[in-house]
Amino acid sequence: MTAQVGITGSPNSEPGSGRAAGAEANPSGDAELARRARGGDRAAFSEVYLRYAPVVHGVLVAHAPWREVPDLVQDVFVLALRAIGALDEPERLGPWLIAIARNRARDHLKRRRPEVQHEAELERAPMPSPRAPDDTDGDDDPAAAAILAAVQALPESYRETLALRLVEGLSGPEIAARTGLTHGSVRVNLHRGFRLLRERLEQREGRRTS
């Protein structure tokens, strides 16, 4: 395991990535749970896993090849367990885990794309889509694979929010609570992201029929 883990949640730099303050980023009991886990209470960490595995999964689905996501979810929680002693803001447990998931996905994609040479450049660049829109990545449902590829090709904050809503089935308020984004940002990400997704799918459909 060689991925580097960011200790503090890193906010998105794209439009619609506003962070929530205080309670919105701290769904019921998260901060207390994080404090207990930080103090070495492994039952508390187990509860963190149960609570956040779908969220981490959704973020990874937005960025990484779907076949590799279950293993990456495990990686993220191994990294989180190692680093939780240094978690500065227990009330921002969700954003912290999401930052680890993003870093892990980025690290994974970097290894898959050795031709991308400049590390600093890669860190600054938006997360690349793991595959071309028409690549089904071995999925036996090409229509679903095409929709997922279109989600993965959206700007980073749109793709994560949409993956949490359309793949994981979370509601807007749940996404806000778990990610630390404001309700307004989640609404914007969902609205603009879905509109962009629909346009791209229509364009793709148009290309196929013309």
Nearer to another protein, 124 or 143 (CB): 143
In whole angstroms, the minimum distance from the beta carbon of 91 to another protein comes to: 20
Nearer to another protein, 35 or 187 (CB): 187
Nearer to another protein, 13 or 205 (CB): 205
Q: Identify the bridge partners of residue 181 per DSSP, sorted by sequence position.
A: 19
Nearer to another protein, 13 or 46 (CB): 46
In angstroms, rounded to a whole number, what is the distance separating the alpha carbons of residues 36 and 52? 16
187 lines the binding site for another protein (CB under 8 A): yes
Helices in 3-155 by DSSP H: which ranges? 30-38, 42-63, 69-83, 93-112, 119-124, 142-152
Judged by CB under 8 A, the residue of 9, 16, 27, 58 near another protein is 58
78 lines the binding site for another protein (CB under 8 A): yes
Residue found by looking up tokens 């906010």 in the block:
11
Sign of torsion over alpha carbons 204, 206, 208, 210: negative
21-50 residues near another protein, rule: CB under 8 A: 40, 42-43, 45-50
Give the relative orientation of helices 93-112 and 42-63 as an angle to the nearest 10 degrees: 50
In whole angstroms, the minimum distance from the beta carbon of 68 to another protein comes to: 8
Residues in the chain: 210
Angle 96-100-104 (CA atoms, 0-180°, nearest 5)? 170
115 lines the binding site for another protein (CB under 8 A): no
- Helix and strand numbers, DSSP H then E, in the chain: 9, 0
Residue found by looking up tokens 């090849």 in the block:
65
| 8 A C-beta contact, residue 90 and residue 35 | yes
Q: How many residues bind another protein (CB under 8 A)?
A: 52
In whole angstroms, the minimum distance from the beta carbon of 82 to another protein comes to: 8
159 lines the binding site for another protein (CB under 8 A): no
Judged by CB under 8 A, the residue of 73, 87, 100, 181 near another protein is 73
Binding site for another protein (CB under 8 A): 1-2, 40, 42-43, 45-50, 53-54, 57-58, 61, 66, 68-71, 73-75, 77-78, 81-82, 139-141, 143-144, 147-148, 151, 165-169, 171-173, 186-187, 190-191, 194-195, 197-198
